[in-house]
Chain A
C-alpha cells in the first residue's frame, strides 16, 4: 500500500456519460498530480493541485476538470466521454510543489473503459 488511495479501481461507462475519479493523497502530502496512461500516448500529465489551488496544467481536455478539497483529497471529473478516453488514470502525491527532493507516490490507478 503506497498510501495514495484511488477509487474506484475499475469503471465501465458509456460514451457521453460523466464520471468522477477520487484520490486521497498520502498523509502529509499537499500536492496531488493526475496522469493519464494510455497505450498510444504513454503517461501524460493532466493537472496538479497544491493545498487546494491549481498549480500546473498539462494536456487536460476541456471536458475534464479537477479540484482539491480542504481535506486535500482530489477529484477528477471526466464528462462527455469518448471511446478514446479509455485509459488508466493515476493520481500521485508529494509534500511540496516540486518533486525534486520528495519524489512522488503513486496510487494504483483507476481503469476507465468507455464503451
Chain B
C-alpha cells in the first residue's frame, strides 16, 4: 500500500541555517504530496502541496519539489527562524485509491536555536 517515510528527528539548527527534511514515498497511483506543520499544542496546518511530477510547492520560504523519478518530496528552507520550530509531516493523498485520505509520515521535529 501507499506509505511515506521521513527522516528521523529531532533536527536542531541555528537561526539562519539551511534546512532539509527528507521525505520519500511509495504509491501505486499518482498521488498528490503535502507538507503539514504542527506547532506545539495546535493542530496540523497545510504548509505546501504539489499535485503532479515536477511541481514545486512553496510557502513562507519553504519549498518542496515533486520528484517522481526518485519518489521524493524533500522540504527545504534557505534560512530558518526560531518561529519555524515545530513538527513537520510529509503526506500523500491518492484520490484513486483509498478514498483520497491523507497518509502521513512519522513527523520530523525541528528545533531552531537563536
Interface, chain A (partner B; CB < 8 A): 2, 4, 33, 42-43, 45, 48, 55-56, 58, 90, 92, 96-101, 103-109
Contact = CB atoms under 8 A, between A and B. Distances in A.
Interface string B40-59: 01111110010100000000
B53 to A, nearest CB: 14
Contacts of A98: 93, 95, 99-100
Contact of B51 (A48, A101, A104): A101
Interface stretch (B13-21, B73-81, B102-110): B102-110
Interface string B68-99: 00000000000000000000010001010011
A105 B51 CA distance: 17
A66 to B, nearest CB: 14
Given A100-B93, A108-B42, A43 B104 contact: yes
B22 interface: no
Main DSSP-derived SS at the A contact region: loop
Which residue among B43, B49, B98, B104 has the maximum number of chain A CB atoms within 10 Å of its CB?
B43
Q: How large is the interface on B (under 10, 10 to 19, 20 to 34, 35 or more residues)?
A: 20 to 34
B100 A109 contact: no
B43 A106 contact: yes
Given A98-B95, A99-B32, A101-B51, A108 B101 contact: no
Contact of A48 (B34, B36, B45, B99): B99
Given A42-B104, A43-B89, A103 B49 contact: yes
Contacts of A101: 51
A84 B106 CA distance: 18
A97 B43 contact: no
A58 B95 CA distance: 15
